[in-house]
Amino acid sequence: MVKSSKHLARISLAIMGVGFVLTFPLSDSKIIALLHGGFEAGIVGGLADWFAVTALFRYPFGIPIPHTSLLTKNRSRITKALISTLENDWLSKKSIQDKLNTIQMTEKIMNIAESELQSPRLNKTMATLLSQMIVKIDVQKLAPILSKYIKEYLYSYKTQQLLEATSKKILDHQLDQKGLDYLLVQGEKWISKEETKYKLGSMAVAALNKIELDGFLQFALKSFQSLINEEKMGKIIQNLISNVIHDLQDPNSIDREKVLLSIQTFLHNAGDNQALIEELEKFKQSLLEEWDPSESIEKILIDVQRKLADYIQNSPFVEAHLIPLIMELFQSLKGNQEKMMAIETWLHTQITNFVEKNHSKIGRLVEENLNKLDNQTLIDMVENNIGKDLQWIRVNGAICGFIIGILITGIEMLFTL
């Protein structure tokens, strides 16, 4: 386009020159003389405007005529003026802030986000990003932190509260009766074994041998020992204990009721048993001091991390759960003008602060980009963008000069009549 307008400017100047030459020998005719004056002025106007346009960018005919090649000579001043205009007029802080104040950014951002959230491509991208974020979590560093918090919580948890809660749970679910029944069943299994009989008999005989009595009682004891051996003694004890177990297993047994009442009374009063609480507290402290759950927690976290990342990546988690949650949040915000205004104010404040801190970078960026261009590149860039209009100045100069030349020549002819 610039080349075609340059070509047109040359043609207009050539027409003026040819017309001037052709009409020169025939200037005796008034009409020809009139045209001759027009062509002469057209040449002057065209050449003058050519000189003016050329002088903006380079030396005419390569001759360093003063006040020519204005763009290259005044490059620094032009650059500063351009930067000043950008910073103080076109892109001033106030103009940017005033424009921002006319934009409802929160609503626009939400509308764009709602539209984009329906995109399957975005859903897949979000799932990938979430999975990658989860995988990037360093569970090796996280495990000791969690271990520390768990131990601190257990240290601080009151043993009395735990004991009272446990006792209440046992009583509410009748675990005292179930526990007693379980112990009785296990005791019955143990007492019915043949080896138990011999063990009890051996223990009883050994205990009798250690008893020392005086006179007749010692004689009676020796007589009893001569009548019974370990097997018989064990059988007697075995039958005795078995009878006691069977009695305690009977729901209507008075002894069973007494045992359960004793257990229940103990459980009811467990929270007030300071000696028991102190012992349990010491036991808890010793366990926690020796316990280091970091390794176990790390293994659990690694497994959870892997499964969670895989679940998010390969399931409709994002579109089924995350997107509806975000959409619900947007709707909630849109219905709350106070929150919307608070977000809008926050956004404007952040952008205003950003503009305040980085406004000077606009000028520096323009200056840096202009400084990267050499003179010829800059001239070519300007000519390519506004050269068409500049070339039309040359055409208009030739045409206007032609018309003005005719008028001046006509006026001269009038005065010579």
> Both 168 and 281 in a single domain?
yes
Residues in the chain: 417
Is residue 244 assigned to a domain?
A: yes
In a domain? residue 360: no
In a domain, 164, yes or no: yes
Specify if 26 maps to a domain: yes
Give helix 337-371 / helix 323-334 axis angle, nearest 10°: 110
Average pLDDT over residues 217-231: 66
Instruction: Give yes or no: residues 162 and 283 share one domain.
Output: yes
Residue 151 located in a structural domain = no
**Which structural domain range is residue 399 located in?**
2-73+373-416
- Calculate the alpha carbon distances from 27 to 21, 94, 188, 412 in Å: 11, 65, 149, 14
* Distance (Å) of CA 155 to CA 122, 151, 255, 282, 292: 46, 6, 40, 11, 13
User: What does the pLDDT look like over 141-166, one tens digit per residue?
Assistant: 989 999 999 999 988 888 888 888 88
Most confident option among 215-219, 246-250, 400-404: 246-250
DSSP state of 35: H
Per-residue model confidence (pLDDT) at position 244? 92
Answer with the one of 272, 290, 308 that is the final residue of a domain: 290
Q: What are phi and psi of 253, to 5 degrees?
A: -70, 135
Tell which residue, 123, 72, 41, has the closest CA to residue 375. 72
Q: Are residues 286 and 378 in the same domain?
A: no
> For residue 80, is it within any domain?
no
In a domain, 87, yes or no: no
Q: What is the pTM of this model?
A: 0.49
Is 273 domain-assigned?
yes
Helix, strand, coil shares of the chain, percent, nearest 5, are 85, 0, 15
The CB-side HSE value for 152 (13 A sphere, CA atoms) comes to 6
Number of compact structural domains in the chain: 2
Task: Check residue 2 and give its pLDDT.
Answer: 46
Q: Are residues 169 and 275 in the same domain?
A: yes
For residue 122, pLDDT over 60 is answered with: yes
**Is 367:83 a contact under the CB 8 Å cutoff?**
yes
Sign of CA dihedral 326, 330, 335, 341: positive
The answer on 282 and 171 residing in a single domain is yes
